Amino acid sequence: MSFGGFDQGGNDRPMSEINTTPLVDVMLVLLIIFIITAPLLTRSVAIDLPTTAGAPEPPKAETVTLSIDADGAMHWNDAPLPAEALPARLAELAASSPQSELHLRADRDTRYQTLAELMSAAREAGVTRIGFVSLPSEGGATAR
């Protein structure tokens, strides 16, 4: 009589019992671990944390929108802006602290030369934060 040997006898049936001894052993070990660690989770450690006075968050810069239509007419935050007043407004924008961001919105038919002159004037005035605003085309990119 051997245990799990290469018995050549006529008993070829598979074993139909489940050995639960390893399962019970693991469950008992887990139970002991939980019994030991559960009291440790209910206690807290008192720590004297330092207090600091943080610097206030700097104010957020406002966004200025400069719109240009196909005829070259400009709008400063949706208010009409004559071309003569543009350099003064750009210098005022550059002097603001923190410097505001200039968003350029141009009509599709606006000449590139107009945009290049406007960006050059903004750079000369000291504006360093310039961004372009565009709308996504419907149905993918199409050439016009």
Instruction: Look at the pTM and tell me if it is higher than 0.85.
Output: no
Q: Give pLDDT tens digits for 47-82.
A: 777 777 777 777 777 889 999 988 889 999 989 999
Alpha carbon distance 102, 86 (integer Å) = 13
* Distance in Å from the first CA to the final CA of the chain: 91
Question: Mean of the pLDDT values across residues 37-52?
Answer: 77
CA dihedral 119, 122, 126, 130 (to 10 degrees): -60
Beta strand 74-76 with 79-81 is antiparallel
Q: Which one, of 79, 118, 113, 80, lies nearest residue 102 by Cα? A: 118
The answer on pLDDT for 140 being more than 60 is no
Q: Give pLDDT tens digits for 99-135.
A: 888 999 988 888 888 889 999 999 999 998 898 888 7
Alpha carbon distance 50, 48 (integer Å) = 7
What are the extents of the domains in the chain?
75-133
